[in-house]
């Protein structure tokens, strides 16, 4: 009996892109998306591939779902090789990529599911039964959305339908690329609860990618943190948190329009001489700054930051010091490693 | 369980049906198009001369039926090229392409088979649309002729599918959102010899028109529309031309598709 549902070993992927330089001129550029990614997903668990934008999550997902060929390395799903046994792999996986599209706009949710069920060889009563089952499971029935045209769906409904399609052929493995991104809290919760239930009760293996720490903390048994094409940490949530056990987290709520956040992050880290910080947008033009520091450093860092903010005309609303959360571990591992 | 070719075709028939059901106005416009076209051409023709002169110039006993049938043929050819050649692009735009490719079977099978039912359906529809016209002018014989033309249209569809798959492969690999098929549409109109004899075209275009299947289908339609019983020998000549084109185009297509699949899966444009 296989222990690992998914195994990835030394995956490397380079993209070739062409930068435009004027009307005819173009310059070739190599994007190193994956620089040797290895991880294992144990059968029956919820596994989180966690990383910031551009880290290589989608690229990894595309390789293990047979949609993209790796340049180097090897990956297997239920023991099947994703390159040489791609058709076998496709039989055992249910997949969602970007949840805001991927269906016919002019067909209803139910018709769309029927189409994809038929593609997978379901027919007759069996097809109808499965379609009704998954519509029920993801809560689209309850929302009265089964017979609405896809173009009338909200993002939450689209994400639910995407998950329904992944479940249609009852695959043992689900591979979901940011399944809750941008969703209303209600839909996100339904989906998270369903994923946990599928893993616990139906022994399905679930791989999700996310940049949402909170989500990973809620549902994942194991997490691998990917940054800049490399896995920088692997473990349970508890194990990862322990990595930052000797650190403290400083949290500040400041007034900063969302458009300047990227710029601001670089400037602050220069001013206070610390790289392990992260800025995330909040509501009403506010943002949350997290800085990971060694115990004893916090007072100086806070004083320096407040000074830096005031001299730049940025208001500080709140300052807090606490034990590191998974988000702080994430900042420590992704920012500190550069 | 791996998916079979039948599964793919059944799914595709279903989505085409559901799509038409939800977009009835489009269905209607497909039915009415050949009539509008015929009306326009005849009206233009009347400005310059009578129906009689048209009859003499084209050497056809029933110009109205001929133009109806030809409009139907061109319409159905355009539909085939449009549907098959742009299908991969269309699915990429919809975001459905990765899910099609996740079907547990050979990727090229999905790419070729998925668009075919809707291509057949829409081309049959645009031919059947002219059935009332054919019956009106020539009664049951007209219907019979139309049926014969439809068979030739199906035969003409085979090389067109090959040609469209070649175009689809190129479009996928080139990555640009430019739609190569959109160049092809006016070319088909120009080179099919529907609305005027191809002899009026420059020699080079006349040469090019010979590698386009539509030309032979239109000629077969002309034969059928001209005589009560079409000349079997001439018809057979046209049919063998179509078969040869099928072999050439579809052979090339299967090579092109294999190569482009590998390139697409390496470059990550899906
Ligand atoms: N088709 C592509 N062509 C060129 N570069 C790409 C392509 N897809 C992704 N990339 C680049 O590869 C890197 C990793 O992307 P991706 O796997 O989508 O990251 P993530 O999903 O974690 O946000 C990014 O720098 C991205 O810009
Ligand atoms: Mg992504």
C-beta atoms of A111 and B102 within 8 A: no
> A63-67, A135-139, B188-192: lowest mean pLDDT where?
B188-192
Distance (Å, rounded) from C-alpha B70 to C-alpha B149? 10
Tell me the best of A20, A31, A32, A62 to mutate to test the pocket of ligand 1, counting ligand atoms within 8 Å of each CB and taking the most. Answer: A31
Query: What residue in B sits closest to A116 (Cα-Cα)?
Result: B11
B1 touches chain A (CB under 8 A): yes
Give residue A77's pLDDT.
98
Give residue B178's pLDDT.
61
Give residue A314's pLDDT.
87
B113 touches chain A (CB under 8 A): no
Tell me the CA–centroid distance for residue B105 and ligand 1, in Å: 27
Q: Which residues of chain A lie closer than 8 angstroms to B8, CB-CB? A: 119
Report the nearest-CA residue for atom 5 of ligand 1.
Answer: A15
B202 touches chain A (CB under 8 A): no
Give residue B209's pLDDT.
84
Report the nearest-CA residue for atom 6 of ligand 1.
Answer: A15
Query: Ligand 1 within 6 A of A229 CB?
Result: no
Q: Which residues of chain B lie closer than 8 angstroms to A121, CB-CB? A: 1-4, 7
* Mean pLDDT confidence for A206-225: 92
Distance (Å, rounded) from C-alpha A9 to C-alpha A25? 38
Task: Specify the higher pLDDT residue, A119 or A53.
Answer: A119
C-beta atoms of B7 and A121 within 8 A: yes
Task: Specify the higher pLDDT residue, A194 or B264.
Answer: A194
Query: Ligand 1 within 6 A of A96 CB?
Result: no
Give residue B153's pLDDT.
82
Angstrom CA distances, B146 to A92, A155, B65, B70, stand at 48, 48, 10, 11
pLDDT in tens for each of the 270 residues of chain B? 788 999 999 999 999 899 988 988 877 877 777 677 777 766 766 666 666 666 666 666 677 777 777 777 777 777 777 788 788 888 988 999 999 999 999 888 888 889 988 888 877 877 777 788 778 877 888 888 888 888 888 888 888 888 888 888 887 777 665 666 677 777 777 787 776 777 888 888 888 888 888 888 888 777 776 665 667 788 888 889 889 999 998 888 888 888 888 888 888 777
Tell me the CA–centroid distance for residue A169 and ligand 1, in Å: 29
C-beta atoms of A97 and B95 within 8 A: yes
* Mean pLDDT confidence for A120-124: 94
Q: In this complex, which of B105, B265, B266 lies closest to A87 when CB atoms are compared?
A: B105
Is the per-residue pLDDT at A150 higher than 80? yes
Is the per-residue pLDDT at A337 higher than 60? no
Is the per-residue pLDDT at A336 higher than 70? no
Query: Ligand 1 within 6 A of A62 CB?
Result: no
C-beta atoms of A115 and B18 within 8 A: yes
Which fold, A4-235?
Rossmann fold (3.40.50)
Give tens-digit pLDDT for A243-272: 878 888 899 999 988 887 878 888 888 877
Query: What residue in A sits closest to B114 (Cα-Cα)?
Result: A119
Atom in ligand 1 nearest the alpha carbon of residue A31: 5
Neighbours of A320 (CB within 10 A): 10
> What residues does each domain of chain A span?
4-235, 244-334
- The alpha carbon of residue B230 and the mean position of all alpha carbons in its chain are separated, in whole angstroms, by 23
Give residue B54's pLDDT.
64
Is the per-residue pLDDT at A24 higher than 80? no
Region A244-334: CATH code? 3.30.70.260
* Mean pLDDT confidence for A300-322: 88
Give residue A49's pLDDT.
97
3-state helix/strand/coil string of chain B: CCCCHHHHHHHHHHHHHHHHHHCHHHHHHHHHHHHHHHHHHHHHHHHHCCHHHHHHHHCCCCHHHHHHHHHHHHHHHHHHHHHHHHHHHHHHHHCCHHHHHCCCCCHHHHHHHCCHHHHHHHHHHHHHCCHHHHHHHHHHHHHHHHHHHHHHHHHHHHHHHHHHHHHHHHHHHHCCCCCCHHHHHHHHHHHCCCCCCHHHCCHHHHHHHCCCHHHHHHHHHHHHHHCCCCCHHHHHHHHHHHHHHHHHHHHHHHHHHHHHHHHHHHHCCC
pLDDT-above-90 percentage for chain A? 64
Q: Which of residues 25 through 84 in chain B touch A, CB cutoff 8 A?
A: none
Highest mean pLDDT among A55-59, A269-273, A308-312, B198-202: A55-59
Query: What residue in A sits closest to B9 (Cα-Cα)?
Result: A119
Q: Compute and round to an integer the Cα radius of gyration of chain A.
A: 22
Q: Which of residues 164 through 183 in chain B touch A, CB cutoff 8 A?
A: none
């Amino acid at each position: 009996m296989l222990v690992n549902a998914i195994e990835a070993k030394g995956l490397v992927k380079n993209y070739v892109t062409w930068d435009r330089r004027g009307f005819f001129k173009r310059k070739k550029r190599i994007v190193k998306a994956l620089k040797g990614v290895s991880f294992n997903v144990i059968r029956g668990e919820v596994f989180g591939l966690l990383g910031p934008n551009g880290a290589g999550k989608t690229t990894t997902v595309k390789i293990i779902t047979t949609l993209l060929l790796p340049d180097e390395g090897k990956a297997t799903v239920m023991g099947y090789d994703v390159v040489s046994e791609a058709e076998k792999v496709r039989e055992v996986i249910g997949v969602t990529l970007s949840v805001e599209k991927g269906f016919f706009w002019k067909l209803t949710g139910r018709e769309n599911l029927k189409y994809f069920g038929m593609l997978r060889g379901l027919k007759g009563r069996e097809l109808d039964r499965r379609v009704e089952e998954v519509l029920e499971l993801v809560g689209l029935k309850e929302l009265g959305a089964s017979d609405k045209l896809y173009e009338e769906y909200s993002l939450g409904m689209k994400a639910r339908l995407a998950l329904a399609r992944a479940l249609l052929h009852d695959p043992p493995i689900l591979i979901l690329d940011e399944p809750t991104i941008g969703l209303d809290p209600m839909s996100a919760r339904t989906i998270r609860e369903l994923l946990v239930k599928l893993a616990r009760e139906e022994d399905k293996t679930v791989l999700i990618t996310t940049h949402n720490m909170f989500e990973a903390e809620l549902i994942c048994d194991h997490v691998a943190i990917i940054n800049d094409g490399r896995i920088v940490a692997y473990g349970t949530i508890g194990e990862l948190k322990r990595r930052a056990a000797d650190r403290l987290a400083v949290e500040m709520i400041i007034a900063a329009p969302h458009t300047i956040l990227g710029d601001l992050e670089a400037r602050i880290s220069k001013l206070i001489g610390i790289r392990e910080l992260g800025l995330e947008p909040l509501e009403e033009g506010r943002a949350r700054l997290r800085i990971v520091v060694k115990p004893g450093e916090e007072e100086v860092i806070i004083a320096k930051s407040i000074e830096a903010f005031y001299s730049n005309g940025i208001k500080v609303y709140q300052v807090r010091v606490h034990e590191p959360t998974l988000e702080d571990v994430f900042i420590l591992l992704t920012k500190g490693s550069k | 369980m791996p998916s079979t070719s039948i599964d793919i075709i059944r799914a595709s028939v279903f989505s085409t049906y559901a799509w038409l059901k939800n977009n009835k106005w489009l269905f209607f416009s497909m039915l009415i198009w050949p009539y509008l076209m015929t009306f326009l051409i005849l009206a233009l023709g009347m400005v310059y001369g009578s129906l009689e002169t048209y009859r003499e110039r084209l050497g056809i006993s029933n110009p109205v039926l001929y133009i109806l049938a030809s409009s139907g043929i061109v319409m159905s050819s355009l539909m085939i090229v449009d549907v098959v050649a742009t299908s991969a692009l269309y699915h990429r735009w919809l975001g459905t392409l990765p899910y099609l490719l996740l079907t547990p079977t050979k990727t090229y099978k999905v790419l070729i088979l998925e668009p075919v039912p809707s291509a057949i359906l829409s081309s049959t529809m645009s031919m059947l649309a002219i059935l009332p016209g054919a019956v009106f002018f020539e009664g049951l014989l007209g219907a019979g002729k139309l049926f014969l033309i439809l068979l030739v249209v199906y035969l003409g569809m085979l090389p067109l599918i090959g040609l469209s798959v070649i175009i689809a492969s190129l479009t996928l690999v080139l990555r640009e959102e430019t739609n190569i098929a959109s160049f092809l549409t006016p070319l088909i109109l120009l080179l099919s010899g529907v609305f005027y004899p191809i002899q009026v075209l420059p020699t080079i275009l006349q040469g090019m028109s010979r590698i386009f299947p539509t030309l032979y289908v239109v000629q077969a339609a002309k034969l059928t529309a001209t005589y009560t019983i079409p000349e079997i020998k001439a018809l057979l000549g046209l049919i063998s031309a179509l078969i040869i084109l099928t072999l050439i185009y579809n052979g090339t297509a299967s090579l092109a598709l294999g190569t482009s699949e590998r390139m697409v899966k390496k470059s990550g444009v899906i």
